[in-house]
Amino acid sequence: MLLIRRFEEKAGQLYGMGLIAGFCHLYIGQEAIASGMRHTMKNGDKVITTYRDHGHMISTGSDPKKIMAELLGRSDGSSKGKGGSMHLFDFEKHFYGGHGIVGASVPIGTGLAFADKYLGNKNVTYCYFGDGAAHQGQVYESFNMAKLWNLPVLFIIENNHYAMGTSQKRSSSTDQLHKRGEGFNIPGLKINGMDIFDVISEGQKCVDFVRTGKGPMIIEFDTYRYRGHSMSDPATYRSKEEVSCQKEKDPIDSLRHEILTSKIVTENDIEKIDEAIKSEINEIVDFAKNSPEPDESELLTDIYN
């Protein structure tokens, strides 16, 4: 969680310095979800998400240096600098993107699960999307096929309550997104996405349901992003009070408090972790900055294979 938080803070800084361009959607506030669900994953499980993808890719164990290099559009980036922030992939870690079109990753994720069922293995696809994407028609086309064919896919709605600048109240006929599968006979569960222990324990139950062949399931994580929709969004549609109130539930602060009070770690241990991550972030940034831009010959490679 802390690595993702610091990574995203640094990405925000580098964006401000002009080293990262285009669209850059930060995961700050939502870290407990990808970090927690990682603990429920087995080797071979697949992950797919939308454009707010840095945290998910880090959580698959992918090298953050390559992710940062990708954000900077450098040749050592995970996509050789050709994808950018919204199009991160790590095929070896079974991370299938990184998709820029809202909702489009849901049928694709359903297809990843279709492949696993077709090939007869026990993998689960973790298909993440936001509350905004949850209104797209193709999501419901996917729900229908996923249940019809009993596919091992976990639909994970990260409900941060804002579809870009439109609040859920103004865009959703109901606020119970985990019940959106009822018409398809897909069970759903709402989980506190700001507490990593809840994410892991409740998330595990859902993963077990899917992995044991019972078909798809929907999780709605209740969460919040502290920053704007993307770096170009000042988020003036939310009050300072609302944001600071949400920050009181911060997943990292509450975990810190929890492990300190239960004496699992000492203040000194926490400082060491902070320092280690700070130095890792420095290495990540140095690596990305020192990586050259892609060779001009790369313009016309990877169009076909």
Partner 1 sequence: MIRKLTVREALREAMAEEMRSDEKIFVMGEEVAEYNGAYKVTQGLLAEFGTKRVIDTPITEHGFAGLGVGAAFAGLKPIVEFMTFNFAMQAMDQIINSAAKTCYMSGGQVRCPIVFRGPNGAASRVAAQHSQCYAAWYGSIPGLKVVSPYSASDSKGLLKAAIRDPNPVIFLENEITYGFSFEEEYDEDHVVEIGKAKVIREGSDVTIIGFSLVMKYALEAAQQLASEGINAEVIDLRTIRPIDRTTIVESVKKTSRCVTVEEGFPFASIGSEVSSILMEEAFDYLDAPVKRLASVDAPLPYAANLESLALPKTANIVAAVRDVCFRN
Query: What are the residues binding partner 1 (CB under 8 A)?
Result: 46, 48, 77-83, 87, 89-91, 96-101, 104, 106-116, 118-119, 137-138, 141-142, 144-145, 148, 301-305
Closest CB to partner 1 among residues 113, 199: 113
Q: How far is CA 185 from CA 48, 162, 179, 181, 189, in A?
A: 23, 27, 10, 6, 13
Closest CB to partner 1 among residues 29, 215: 215
* Minimum CB–partner distance for residue 259 and partner 1 (Å): 37
Q: Which residue has the tokens 């090939």?
A: 119
* Minimum CB–partner distance for residue 86 and partner 1 (Å): 9
Closest CB to partner 1 among residues 12, 100: 100
Q: Which residue has the tokens 């361009």?
A: 21
* Minimum CB–partner distance for residue 203 and partner 1 (Å): 22
* Minimum CB–partner distance for residue 250 and partner 1 (Å): 33
Closest CB to partner 1 among residues 18, 304: 304
Contact 106, 157 (CB under 8 A): no
Closest CB to partner 1 among residues 115, 276: 115
* Minimum CB–partner distance for residue 6 and partner 1 (Å): 25
Question: What tokens were used for 174?
Answer: 């109901």
Closest CB to partner 1 among residues 90, 202: 90
* Minimum CB–partner distance for residue 204 and partner 1 (Å): 24
